[in-house]
């Protein structure tokens, strides 16, 4: 996820763009850049690191005079954070500049087509394709060039475009990535999100999918991708400036929970091509995939919990033995890694010290390491042999939600790829699984809309002393994550237990009114989990059940039931975790805790 800003008007553009980008750093901050038209040509300045570096480099924008320009703060998806890959990107003649938020899914084939036509590329990014494609279609009519490009690209985009030949206008276009435009007496603005321009205007237009905007200093025109002019209704923003950075959400965690449909989609869809799973970044032939004899998944915290689910799904779908380790244990237990083993490390930040150490230990023993990572160019991403990015965008809240959900998707894709290649999944089953995967974003959206019901239930437990989460199989992995979400942001003691294990001691802690959350999404284990629910109820527990819509039987044993939509049991974690995330969030809010920055915690644990 990146942030883009554009301006054209009567004021100096660079300071306005820098100010706007500073309000979008939550969207990405590994590099930044601006393209400003100085009256005769477009000048581009880019820098690696936080936006402050660009501000210092351009003396607050003073060294880039001009009344129109575009700017970008990056969250790298394709190409590590460096000056070459930072946006804006130029065509070869430096007469067209573009900034982009999103993923051009067919960029490789467009790149090959343009190279065949003599174009040369300097960066590793998907975005640079847009600059050369605009050049290819530009014959003097900028709107025509923009719309022709939009008909060629697949994927998601929010664009800002500047043509040196037409410095009295800038262009914006949108598909799936957020984009707004606005106007005040000094000019017109483009932005990825409201915070960037809220200080200049509260009257904004939300650009809809496949719409194009031509912005001049004193007016804007809206078009479809077929160049038909359309009219749009403005929206008056009521938020205060601080709230706007969270796009109107009270906390980043809530915002990021609501981004899960998109981050699941962004992690999933680019890897599904022609009803098959294509994970180019694995860099492994089918032969090599078939040769894998064991997978070691190594991670910490929620990433470890995702790995636990990965174990059940990979062993279930691909019949490859999987061992899951806490990185802090793996690195010191002299692990037994045998020939044919593959190590998979999972890390949102890509900087977790224990996970990085586990990666290095594995490589030192001569084993290939696959990283499932969210931060492009992070230490783990750089040192892993291959990286499967989760494309969840920057996650600000310490308690992970959208990155965790994206990690699950990466593991499902890996499991299905392995299962298909190793002949464990037949064609019909594979297509049915693909169909269930594609439904997940909408189903997550549905569950998120349940938040008021969850908040009401959560308010009953802000005074709780102990909360237990139980489940069998994948439901145990879900329980681990549900328990961590609650305790790390509400400071209430919570434990997750394999449901069959509780009676081996811990059940002695169950008292009258103790909340036990029973996760039951695995049909072949419904009856077993119900027995465990009855056991704790007999000791006075209040049982919350999270289960599938079909499992009405559970109502006999549960005091409160949250249903999730039907999906393949292997993917149930992606749905069951949503109400548990919301539960932890609302208990924390109800207790008045600092949801986004819980005590004692850090977003990335870069020490042992």
Query: Is 260 within 8 Å of 448 (Cβ atoms)?
Result: yes
Coil, helix or strand at residue 90: strand
Q: Please name the helix (run of DSSP H) or strand (run of DSSP E) that holds residue 184, with its range, or none.
A: strand 180-184
Distance between CA 185 and CA 100 in Å, rounded? 27
Which listed range, 9-17, 79-87, 313-321, 349-357, lies at the site for ligand AGP (CB under 6 A)?
349-357
Dihedral of alpha carbons 424, 426, 431, 432, sign: negative
Query: Is 364 within 8 Å of 350 (Cβ atoms)?
Result: no
The residue from 52, 438, 537, 603 that is catalytic is 603
Q: Is 400 in the site for ligand AGP (CB under 6 A)?
A: yes
In whole angstroms, the minimum distance from the beta carbon of 488 to ligand AGP comes to 6
End-to-end CA gap in the chain: 29
The residue within the footprint of ligand AGP, chosen from 104, 387, 398, 558 (CB under 6 A), is 398
Q: Is 43 in the site for ligand AGP (CB under 6 A)?
A: no
Dihedral of alpha carbons 351, 354, 357, 361, sign: negative
Q: Which residue is nearest to ligand AGP (CB)?
A: 301
User: 295 or 358, CB closer to ligand AGP?
Assistant: 358
Q: Which two tokens stand for residue 581?
A: 């995330």
- Binding residues for ligand AGP restricted to 265-304, rule: CB under 6 A: 300-303
User: 230 or 602, CB closer to ligand AGP?
Assistant: 602
The residue within the footprint of ligand AGP, chosen from 98, 110, 399, 478 (CB under 6 A), is 399
Q: Is 379 in the site for ligand AGP (CB under 6 A)?
A: no
In whole angstroms, the minimum distance from the beta carbon of 86 to ligand AGP comes to 24
Q: Is 405 in the site for ligand AGP (CB under 6 A)?
A: no
- Binding residues for ligand AGP restricted to 300-339, rule: CB under 6 A: 300-303
- Binding residues for ligand AGP restricted to 456-515, rule: CB under 6 A: 488
Q: In what order do the strands lie in the sheet with 493-498?
A: 493-498, 466-471, 515-520, 542-548, 560-564
Q: Is 355 in the site for ligand AGP (CB under 6 A)?
A: yes
Distance between CA 174 and CA 191 in Å, rounded? 11
User: 45 or 348, CB closer to ligand AGP?
Assistant: 348
Number of residues that bind ligand AGP (CB under 6 A): 15
Which listed range, 38-46, 397-405, 412-420, 560-568, lies at the site for ligand AGP (CB under 6 A)?
397-405
Q: Is 605 in the site for ligand AGP (CB under 6 A)?
A: yes
Query: Is 547 within 8 Å of 522 (Cβ atoms)?
Result: no
Exposed, middle or buried, 120 (CB in 10 Å: 0-12/13-18/19+)? exposed
Distance between CA 217 and CA 8 in Å, rounded? 5
Does residue 603 carry a catalytic annotation?
yes
Does residue 2 carry a catalytic annotation?
yes
In whole angstroms, the minimum distance from the beta carbon of 357 to ligand AGP comes to 12
For residue 544, the 8-state DSSP code is: E
Q: Is 348 in the site for ligand AGP (CB under 6 A)?
A: yes
For residue 176, the 8-state DSSP code is: B
User: 260 or 347, CB closer to ligand AGP?
Assistant: 347
The residue within the footprint of ligand AGP, chosen from 91, 123, 347, 479 (CB under 6 A), is 347
Q: Which residues are catalytic?
A: 2, 603
Binding site for ligand AGP (CB under 6 A): 300-303, 347-349, 352, 355, 398-400, 488, 604-605
């Amino acid at each position: 996820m990146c942030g883009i800003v554009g301006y054209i008007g009567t004021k100096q553009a660079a300071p306005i763009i820098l100010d706007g980008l500073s309000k979008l750093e939550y969207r990405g901050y590994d590099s930044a850049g601006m393209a400003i038209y100085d009256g005769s040509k477009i000048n581009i300045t880019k820098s690696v690191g936080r936006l402050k570096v660009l501000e210092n480099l351009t003396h607050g924008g003073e060294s880039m005079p001009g009344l129109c320009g575009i700017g970008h703060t990056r969250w790298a998806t394709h190409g590590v954070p460096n000056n070459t890959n930072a946006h804006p990107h130029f065509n070869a003649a430096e007469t067209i500049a573009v900034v982009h938020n999103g993923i051009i899914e067919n960029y490789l084939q467009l790149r090959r087509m343009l190279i065949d036509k003599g174009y040369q590329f300097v960066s590793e990014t998907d975005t640079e394709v847009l600059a050369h494609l605009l050049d290819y279609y530009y014959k003097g009519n900028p709107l025509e060039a923009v719309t022709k490009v939009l008909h060629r690209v697949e994927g998601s985009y929010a664009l800002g475009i500047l043509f040196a030949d037409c410095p009295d206008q800038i262009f914006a276009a949108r598909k799936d990535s957020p984009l707004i435009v606005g106007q005040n007496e000094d000019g017109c603005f483009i932005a990825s999100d409201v915070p960037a321009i809220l200080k200049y205007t509260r009257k904004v237009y939300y650009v809809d999918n496949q719409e194009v905007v031509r912005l001049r200093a004193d007016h804007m025109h809206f078009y479809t991708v077929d160049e038909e002019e359309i009219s749009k209704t403005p929206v008056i923003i009521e938020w205060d400036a601080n709230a706007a950075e969270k796009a109107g959400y009270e906390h980043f965690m809530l915002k990021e929970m609501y981004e899960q449909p998109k981050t699941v989609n962004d992690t999933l869809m680019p890897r599904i091509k022609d009803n098959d799973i294509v994970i180019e970044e694995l860099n492994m032939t089918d032969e090599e995939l078939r040769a894998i004899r064991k997978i070691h998944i190594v991670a910490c915290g929620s990433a470890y919990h995702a790995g636990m689910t990965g174990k059940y799904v990979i062993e279930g779908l691909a019949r490859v033995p999987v061992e899951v380790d806490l990185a802090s244990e793996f690195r010191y237990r002299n692990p037994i890694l045998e020939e044919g083993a593959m190590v998979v490390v999972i890390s949102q930040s890509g900087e977790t010290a224990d996970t990085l150490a586990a990666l290095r230990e594995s490589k030192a023993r001569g084993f290939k390491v696959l990283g499932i990572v969210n931060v492009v160019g992070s230490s783990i991403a750089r040192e892993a042999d291959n990286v499967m990015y989760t494309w969840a965008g920057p996650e600000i809240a310490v308690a992970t939600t959208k990155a965790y959900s994206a990690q699950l998707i990466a593991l499902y894709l890996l499991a299905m790829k392995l299962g298909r290649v190793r002949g464990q999944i037949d064609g019909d089953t594979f297509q049915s699984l693909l169909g269930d995967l594609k439904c997940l974003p909408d189903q997550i959206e549905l569950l998120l809309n349940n938040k008021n019901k969850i908040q009401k239930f959560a308010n009953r437990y802000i005074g709780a002393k102990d909360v237990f989460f139980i489940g069998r199989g994948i439901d145990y992995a879900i329980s681990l994550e549900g328990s961590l979400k609650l305790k790390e942001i509400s400071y209430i003691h919570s434990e997750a237990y394999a449901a069959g294990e509780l009676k081996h001691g811990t059940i002695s802690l169950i008292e009258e009114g103790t909340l036990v959350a029973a996760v039951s999404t695995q049909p072949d284990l419904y009856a077993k989990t119900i027995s465990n629910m009855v056991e704790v109820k007999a000791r006075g527990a209040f049982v919350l059940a999270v289960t599938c819509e079909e499992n009405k039987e559970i109502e006999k044993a549960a005091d409160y039931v949250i249903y999730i939509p039907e999906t393949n049991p292997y993917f149930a974690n992606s749905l069951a975790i949503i109400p548990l995330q919301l539960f932890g969030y609302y208990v924390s809010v109800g207790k008045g805790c600092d949801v986004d920055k819980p005590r004692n915690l850090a977003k990335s644990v870069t020490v042992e």
